[in-house]
Amino acid sequence: MSWREEQIGDCRLICADCLEVLPTLGKVDAVVTDPPWDQAKGIHGSGDPRGLFATVSAALANARMVTVQLGCYTDPCFLAPLARLMPFFHACWLSYVPPSYNGRILMEADVAYVYGDPPASKKGARVIPGVCQSTRREDGEKQFLRSYGKNRSQKESAVRIAALDHPMPRHLAHVRWLTKWHTETDDTVCDPFVGSGTTGVACIQLDRKFIGIEIDPRYFEIACRRIEDAYRQRKLFPPEPPKPEAEQGALL
């Protein structure tokens, strides 16, 4: 398969199969990703998500830290191939506002599992939290919330999901939180299943370098556009410089 690459600021985007690309990257600092999992539909890899993750785990384990986001109704044994290669660090709960349901399961949160060596302890980040309880969502996520939260009709929900740019989008607030707490400012962060580019947007907002891989050209184009937009937004509203340690909280 031929590759297509785009360099947008500090983001390197590659349209190709991650199984081909990852072995060529060498060591990356951190991985923050949402791979196709058991309930994934309509995306590459959904036919055998466990086989795909087992194959890719060896390459992911080259990173210092790997953060994998899964649905609350996904068996964590899905992660066994990675768990055999890296030490487990902790699990995180990523709250939904509002919750929805799937059959008899109340879906109140996604779960992220973190493996490897954590970022260095520093003032303002001595303790790494395990719950993201943000009640605010970015404007671009309102459609996502309407589709997955307030709507209780499976038929209407299916129509709304079909209208989204990606069939399985992630909350930017969640991915940004995971990136903030599990990567360092000077890290290069990789997402081998970049989808519509949410991890890349989070990295731009947090001043991280980023490598994103997406096999589907349709979603690759969406990711490129979102990342270009994120850079334009950053020019208009530059991130605030880090506060002196004396002004930061002693715990978080």
* pLDDT tens sequence across 114-145: 999 999 998 888 999 999 975 444 444 444 44
SS3 assignment, position 244: coil
pLDDT tens-digit map of 176-230 = 999 999 999 999 999 999 999 999 999 999 999 999 999 999 999 999 999 999 9
E runs forming strands in the chain: 4-8, 11-15, 30-33, 65-70, 88-102, 105-116, 131-132, 188-191, 209-214
Quick check: bond before 98 cis, omega within 30?
A: yes
Q: Is 211 domain-assigned? A: yes
CATH number of the domain where residue 160 is located: 3.40.50.150
Residue 247 lies in a domain: no
Q: How far apart are CA 197 and CA 212, in angstroms?
A: 8
Domain for residue 216, yes or no?
Answer: yes
Domain that holds residue 200: 4-239
**What is the reported pTM?**
0.83
- Cα separation, 81 vs 226, whole angstroms: 32
- In total, how many domains does the chain have? 1
Q: How many CA atoms lie within 13 A of 215 on its CB side?
A: 15
Is residue 244 in some structural domain? no
